Amino acid sequence: MTASPYPTTPWLRPPPPMAFLSLLLLLGCLSPSISLAGAEAAGVLRQVVGGDDGGTFFEPFNVTYDHRALILGGKRRMLVSAGLHYPRATPEMWPSLIAKCKEGGVDAIETYVFWNGHEPAKGQYYFEGRFDIVRFAKLVAAEGLFLFLRIGPYACAEWNFGGFPVWLRDVPGIEFRTDNEPYKAEMQIFVTKIVDIMKEEKLYSWQGGPIILQQIENEYGNIQGHYGQAGKRYMLWAAQMALALDTGVPWVMCRQTDAPEQILNTCNAFYCDGFKPNSYNKPTIWTEDWDGWYADWGESLPHRPAQDSAFAVARFYQRGGSLQNYYMYFGGTNFERTAGGPLQITSYDYDAPIDEYGILRQPKWGHLKDLHAAIKLCESALTAVDGSPHYVKLGPMQEAHVYSSENVHTNGSISGNSQFCSAFLANIDEHKYASVWIFGKSYSLPPWSVSILPDCETVAFNTARVGTQTSFFNVESGSPSYSSRHKPRILSLIGVPYLSTTWWTFKEPVGIWGEGIFTAQGILEHLNVTKDISDYLSYTTRVNISEEDVLYWNSKGFLPSLTIDQIRDVARVFVNGKLAGSKVGHWVSLNQPLQLVQGLNELTLLSEIVGLQNYGAFLEKDGAGFRGQVKLTGLSNGDIDLTNSLWTYQIGLKGEFSRIYSPEYQGSAEWSSMQNDDTVSPFTWFKTMFDAPEGNGPVTIDLGSMGKGQAWVNGHLIGRYWSLVAPESGCPSSCNYAGTYSDSKCRSNCGIATQSWYHIPREWLQESGNLLVLFEETGGDPSQISLEVHYTKTICSKISETYYPPLSAWSRAANGRPSVNTVAPELRLQCDDGHVISKITFASYGTPTGGCQNFSVGNCHASTTLDLVVEACEGKNRCAISVTNEVFGDPCRKVVKDLAVEAECSPPSVNQEPRYDI
């Protein structure tokens, strides 16, 4: 058995309070070794033999399956997978992220393959930087994890155009995702390219690589009906094309109930415990367990409680599931213009167990880690049952599923029996606790919960009882946290209130500015013109206004209006270089009053994309820009139809094409120093220089004082920003985990901007002289921009002396049977890597009241608690404390005691390293 990362000392007798201070220190020691959950969950059960220079990472093994599970190297496995998309992080982040996935107890990493990132132009491939998928796959393998590769090549993924390259629209005669020869030809070329690369790099399992599973198409069953019989033919073609590539590992199609026999059909949903594949010969697989949700500009933020995520996963394995993948385990960031559409934000945090910056989100990460450890303890029993588990009705809304290698009698104890036996006890009542009787014992089940008994006797884990810490970040705005419901204060950077007091500006010309302009008759479709090389496309024409028109408006007391039948995503109307108004929406109408003057008036329409459509049928027909008629109404002689007028087209922005966001091209613009009393006007470029904050932690910038635009740091586009405010209503003051979850259930950030903090990867920064460039469309105040290091600031936990023993107390015999030592529960605290527990702000053993950030001492309190916890934890990265009278004494006999602790985390001082052991 691998040592626990939170070792505890067994207490033989109650020592005098101060005498065991040194013993308590041992509780805070942390071995760097991986726990039972981390080691046995991961692929390191297979021998790692090399891999640094193209060699194999595993002893080559075959992957097959039967009706129960995937079979790896001849052995059925219960697998947990973590969704982690390589382009949504930097390559420098990948090793830490993969390691945190492994530490969380997962076996595999899942990722999409992003066609538009790898083939930005037809026949021109890119596999570098954030798109170096081979490097990513080898890092996964080096950690001893498997890889689930979802080639698609359609991804959805809230990714721009669903992962399709925009040039694909221009292939003559093409229709996406149907029985269309031009599309099938391009799809086959790309899928074959990816498979050939994986084979050349020896990344399939039979070559000693990590790939055990792959996907063709994605959720096609959702839209297949739109294409009729051509859709059915296409689906069958895609399956046969994939199988013909002879990859040697299984292919899946998610949400494809009519997938052919040789393809595994799988489930994507918030819950998949009721899902069954379309053939008895296929295992039950959950390719997307939505443990959070994405966010759109101007909306509140979704949040899924850790207890409900754990409940869904436990129910899946309880009812016959064999592989489950978190979508997402790490969401990351939609850098550049990769965010999908319409109107999806730059953050892809997804309320995942690892947050956008790579920091553990607690309690979700820790609670799920404990769940994975409990499931792994059951693996021998789960895989031993060839048919259905033994089902026991325990009450009107309570049930048990028992997995055993032999027949088991559930009305008495099975202690001493030699068989594998694991049980899942479920209470699906949303409101009431239930007491159930099984195995000769009584078990109390919280509402909407599952208890896991690896040995059919002892509860190792309950999904509703959280035994891990809760963490609060120093920067909460823009992350799904209930502590972020109020507008955040401006944060300071090393004593300076704001990022910079020195700014330079450059005015972006409206409409026609030079390169790439052309004139055409009529309103051209946005993407046909821009090919998505920029979000921006200007349409400019001239309108002659007579004296009669002006007199007519004056006499009637109204203004003429510009009307457009449909626009998406943002339309801005300029008259003679001045902004008249804007409209935001997805194919919505525009009606904008205009202040026109007598004579020639220059009318410019600016079309802006905020992410191309990423989901649905007929994506190639969706397009962008304007549809229908463009009219000028309210003239003295009637309306003027401008739809077929001569329009001059200008792609992109002058500053964009001059690359004034890059350090190498600062001479391409005539920057002017910004004065304190300057009025900030729309369509302005801003720049400043700044020093990186101290330390190695991830950096975040607050752009909440700005309007809408894009931001670059040292030439890297960190993404779009937009300070659209979410509605005031729709965010509960608290969230009850119990009951069926939907993405509208537990929302936060009402009444403030959907996103105000943006990720700047630390590796994009140098110590000093960093260049920040903003393109601002609507006006804002750059002097209010601030910068922070993102880290876990406050950690807290409350554990009862009646809680379960730590999962590390469990072990498995050589034959795989689990057993547990009788040890006290543990309270565990952990700061981010490199940070230390700098202060214990609350500690009480007895009957403390309240919750995290609101603890109070109760009627029963051990007076030595604070001193003991300070000695055990302060100055360390993490610590663990036994919750027992033998540590703290018994301040009130015959009363169940809790230990509650709250602490502050801080970066270590220059000369101080975090203590991991004594």
- What secondary structure letter does DSSP report for 876? B
Asked if 627 contacts 524 with a C-beta cutoff of 8 angstroms, the reply is: no
Task: Of 898, 726, 878, 874, give the one whose Cα is nearest residue 800.
Answer: 898
User: 874 to each of 6, 38, 697, 854, 877, how far by Cα in Å?
Assistant: 16, 26, 20, 21, 8
Grouping H, G, I as helix, E, B as strand and the rest as coil, residue 22 is helix
Exactly one of 158, 219, 476, 608 is catalytic; which is it?
219
What tokens does 569 get? Answer: 């995503």
What tokens does 481 get? Answer: 């946290």
Asked if 915 contacts 836 with a C-beta cutoff of 8 angstroms, the reply is: yes
* CA atoms of 133 and 149, how far apart (whole Å): 10
For 345, phi then psi, to 5°, come to: -75, 170
The reply to whether 288 belongs to the active site is yes
SS3 string of 842-859?
EEEEECCECCCCCCECCC
* CA atoms of 159 and 83, how far apart (whole Å): 15
Exactly one of 175, 288, 476, 801 is catalytic; which is it?
288
Task: Of 889, 917, 901, give the one whose Cα is nearest residue 826.
Answer: 901
What tokens does 310 get? Answer: 């754990």
For the chain, the farthest-separated pair of C-alpha atoms sits apart, in whole angstroms, at 102
Grouping H, G, I as helix, E, B as strand and the rest as coil, residue 459 is coil
* CA atoms of 490 and 152, how far apart (whole Å): 43
Asked if 287 contacts 215 with a C-beta cutoff of 8 angstroms, the reply is: yes
Q: 757-760 and 646-651 as β-strands: parallel, antiparallel, unpaired?
A: unpaired
16 burial via Cβ count (<10 Å: 0-12, 13-18, 19+)? exposed
Give the gyration radius of the chain's Cα atoms: 30
* CA atoms of 100 and 819, how far apart (whole Å): 27
SS3 string of 217-239?
CCCHHHCHHHHHHHHHHHHHHHH
For tokens 């069954």, the residue is: 276
Grouping H, G, I as helix, E, B as strand and the rest as coil, residue 686 is strand
* CA atoms of 347 and 410, how far apart (whole Å): 49
* CA atoms of 653 and 58, how far apart (whole Å): 50
List, in order, residues 6 or more apart from 124 with CB less than 8 Å away: none
For tokens 């609507």, the residue is: 778
- What secondary structure letter does DSSP report for 356? T
For tokens 């259905």, the residue is: 388
DSSP string, 760-822: E-GGG--SS-EEEEEEESS---GGG-EEEE--EEEEEEEEETTSPPPGGGEEE-TTS-EEE--
> Catalytic amino acids?
219, 288
